[in-house]
Amino acid sequence: MSVRWIPARAAALLLLGVWSASDAAAQSASGITREDIQRGVTVESRLRRDYEPPGVRLGGFRLDGTLDIGGGYDDNILGLKRNSRSDGFADQAGSVRLQSDWTTHAVGLVGNFDARQYISRSEFDWVDYDIGAFGRYDVNATTNVEARYTHYRDHLDVYSYDVQTAGIFRPVPYTSDEVQASGNTRFNRFGLLGNVLYRTYRFEDVDFNGVRNRISLNDFDTLIGTVGTSYAFAPGRYANLIVRLQDISYTNSISRGRDSFTWQVLGGVTYDFDGVWQGRLAIGWQERSYNDPTLKNFSGPAVEGELSWAPTLLTTVRFNVARTIEESIRFNAVSFNRTQGGAAVDHEFLRNLILTADARADYREYQSPTQTALDGLFSLQARYLVNRNVSLVGNYTYTRRFEATGGFPEFSRNLVSLRVRLAL
C-alpha cells in the first residue's frame, strides 16, 4: 500500500468514528429503542411511541383519523411563463380509517379528502376525496385472498402538460370507481400472486373563456389482470416475473377508435442486501395496440424500481423509477410514454421533528403529434410532532418545466403552505 494513502485512510476512519458517535448520541437523545432499528425500519415507518396517535378502540376494531387545516401561497397558479397569476389559498385535508384488529382475516373502511380554495380565483378551487372498503380472508399462514372497492373524486392539475396542450387552463375534475380482487400463496421457495382490477374514469366538462371543453368524451373503463411469480433464493432475496394485461374501452361512440389492448412483461429482483440497502427492480417490455388501425402502436421498455438506503439510523434515502403508458385527454393524442424518477431523503432531526427533501422528474413522450415535455419538482417538508394529537406540517415546493415542444414555454412555480394536523 502506498504511504501517501495512510493519512487519507486515517482521516476517513476518524470521520466515520465521529459520525457514528454523533449518530449514537442523537439516538440516545431521541429515545430510539432496539425495536426502532430492526431490519427494514425506515424514518417514515418507525413508531414514535410518545407521539403516535392512540386511536379509538371499538371492540375488535380501531378507529384512526386526522384533520388538517392551513393555508399558503402559490405564485403561478396557471403554470405559465407569461401572464402568470398568484394567489393565496386555504387548505383542508383529512382521513379516517376503521380497521379490524383480529389475529387472522381483516375488514375495514377508509376515507380521505383534500381541498383547496383560492382567495381571489375561485375557478381554480378543487375538492378531492376517496372512500372505500376492503376485506381479507386468510386461508392459512401463506395464502390469502382480498377484495377492495374505492370511489374517487380527483382532478388533473392546471400546470399538467397534458391539460395545457388540451387548451384547458382549469383543474379537470373526474370521478372513478375501482374494484379489485387479489390473492397470493407460497409453495416452499415459490410464490404466486394474481390481481384483477376494474376501474372507470368519468371526466367533467370544463368551461374556459366561454367555451365548453367536452372532456367527458374521454370517459373510459379499464380492466387490468396481473399474474406474478417469485422464487426466494435467500431470505429477503427474490427473483420475480410479472405479466400484466390491460384492456381500455371508451364509453362514447366518437372515441371508440381509442380503445386499446396493452401487454406488459417484467422480470427482476427484490433484494435485501444487508439491511442498509433494500430494493426492487423489474425491467421488461410493453406494447399498446389500438382499435383504430390508423393509430400507431405504442411500445417500449417498461420499468418499475424502488431502492432504500439507510446511511444512519436517523436517515433514510429513497429512490424510485417507473416507465408506463398512460391515456391523454387531448383530442389529437391518445396515449403517451411517461418516465418518472426521483430521490428523497427523510431525516429524524429530533425525535419529534422529521425533515424530508424530495426531487422528482417527469418526462412525457407523445408520438402523434411528436411532442415531449420534461418537468422537475423539488420539495422540502418539516413535520413537527407537538404531542400524540397535534402536529405542524410545513411545505415548500418548486416546480419547473425544463423543456417542452408544441409552443408551450418553460415556467417555474413556487408554493408554500403550513398546516395544523389534529389526530385521534
Count the Cβ atoms, other than its own, within 10 Å of residue 302.
23
Mean per-residue pLDDT of the chain: 88
Report if residue 15 sits inside a domain.
no
What pLDDT score does 31 carry? 57
Is residue 355 scored above 90 in pLDDT? yes
CATH number at residue 152: 2.40.160
What pLDDT score does 35 carry? 63
Closest CA to 84 of 360, 412, 375: 412
Report if residue 7 sits inside a domain.
no
- Tell me the per-residue pLDDT of 362-392, one tens digit each, with 9 for 90 and over: 999 988 788 899 999 999 999 999 999 999 9
Q: pLDDT band at 44, cuts 50/70/90?
A: confident
What pLDDT score does 34 carry? 63
What pLDDT score does 12 carry? 40
Residue 300 has which C-alpha cell?
417500449
Report if residue 408 sits inside a domain.
yes
Q: Could you tell me what percent of the chain has a pLDDT over 70?
A: 91
Average pLDDT over residues 203-221: 86
Q: pLDDT band at 170, cuts 50/70/90?
A: confident
What pLDDT score does 280 carry? 95
Report if residue 18 sits inside a domain.
no
Task: Quote the number of domains for the chain.
Answer: 1
What pLDDT score does 22 carry? 43
pTM of the full structure: 0.86
- Tell me the per-residue pLDDT of 83-105, one tens digit each, with 9 for 90 and over: 778 999 999 999 999 999 999 99
Q: Which residues of 271-282 are buried (b: 16+ CB within 10 A; e: fewer)?
A: bbeeeeebbbbb
332 class by beta-carbon count within 10 Å (0-12 exposed, 13-18 middle, 19+ buried): exposed
Is residue 236 scored above 90 in pLDDT? no
Average pLDDT over residues 278-298: 92
What pLDDT score does 155 carry? 95
Instruction: Give residue 195's domain range.
Output: 31-423
- Greater confidence (320 vs 16) lies with 320
Q: Cα(1)–Cα(147) distance, rounded to whole angstroms?
A: 62
- Tell me the per-residue pLDDT of 18-43, one tens digit each, with 9 for 90 and over: 344 444 444 444 455 666 667 778 88
Report if residue 150 sits inside a domain.
yes
Report if residue 3 sits inside a domain.
no
Q: pLDDT band at 211, cuts 50/70/90?
A: confident
Average pLDDT over residues 190-207: 94
Q: Could you tell me what percent of the chain has a pLDDT over 90?
A: 67
What pLDDT score does 304 carry? 95
What pLDDT score does 210 carry? 73
- Tell me the per-residue pLDDT of 100-134, one tens digit each, with 9 for 90 and over: 999 999 999 999 999 999 999 898 999 999 999 99
- Tell me the per-residue pLDDT of 242-262, one tens digit each, with 9 for 90 and over: 999 999 999 998 888 899 999
Is residue 1 scored above 90 in pLDDT? no
What pLDDT score does 32 carry? 59
Average pLDDT over residues 298-323: 94
Report if residue 262 sits inside a domain.
yes
Is residue 14 scored above 50 in pLDDT? no
Q: By mean pLDDT, which of 33-47, 144-158, 246-260, 316-330 is the weakest?
A: 33-47
Report if residue 351 sits inside a domain.
yes
